[in-house]
Chain A
Amino acid sequence: MRPKEFVYHRARDLDHALALLAEHGEEARPISGGQSLVPMMNLRLARPDHLVDVNDLGLDEIREEAGALHVGAMVRHERYLTDPLIRRHLPALLEAVHWIGHPTIRRNGTLGGSLCHADPTAELPAMAVLHGARIVLASTAGRREVAACDFFKGAYMTDVQPGEMLVSVIFPCPQGAHSGAFEELGERLGDFAMGSFGVVLEHEGGVIRRAATVCGGAKMTPIRLPEIEAALQGQTLAGLDAAALGDRVTGLIAPAGDFQVSAEYRRALIGELAGRALQRARDIALNAQP
Chain B
Amino acid sequence: MTRITLTVNGRKHVVEAEPRRLLADVLREDCGLTGVHIGCAHGACGCCTVHVDGSPRLSCLTFAVQMDGRAIRTVEDLGGTEATHPLQQAFRRNHALQCGYCTPGFLMALLPFVEAQVSAGQMPDDDEIREAMSGNICRCTGYQGIVEAVRETIGDALAAKTEAAQ
Contact = CB atoms under 8 A, between A and B. Distances in A.
Interface of A: 1-8, 10, 31, 34-35, 38-39, 42-43, 51, 53, 55, 101-105, 107-108, 188-190
B94 to A, nearest CB: 21
Interface centre among B2, B43, B58, B131 (most CB of A within 10 A): B43
Contacts of B109: 103-104
Contacts of A2: 20-22, 25, 41
Contacts of B57: 104, 107-108
Given A55-B66, A104-B109, A39 B19 contact: no
A34 B58 CA distance: 10
A250 to B, nearest CB: 30
B19 A5 contact: yes
A7 to B, nearest CB: 7
A190 B131 CA distance: 9
A6 B20 contact: yes
Given A6-B19, A107-B55, A101 B62 contact: no
Interface residues of B, number: 30
Interface string B106-147: 000100010000000000000000111011000000000000
B43 A38 contact: yes
B41 A1 contact: yes
Interface of B: 2, 18-22, 25, 41-44, 46, 49, 55-58, 60-63, 65-66, 109, 113, 130-132, 134-135
A103 B56 contact: yes
Contacts of A5: 18-20
Given A35-B43, A38-B62, A42-B42, A102 B134 contact: yes
B150 to A, nearest CB: 14
Interface secondary structure of B, over-half rule: mixed
A62 B44 CA distance: 29
B6 to A, nearest CB: 15
A104 B56 CA distance: 6
Contacts of B65: 8
B135 A34 contact: no
Contact of B131 (A38, A43, A103, A108): A103
A31 B63 CA distance: 10
Given A2-B41, A8-B2, A102 B19 contact: no
A105 B43 contact: yes
Given A2-B20, A3-B20, A107-B56, A34 B2 contact: no
Contacts of B49: 104
A51 B64 CA distance: 13
7 contacts: A8-B66, A35-B61, A38-B60, A102-B134, A103-B131, A104-B135, A108-B58
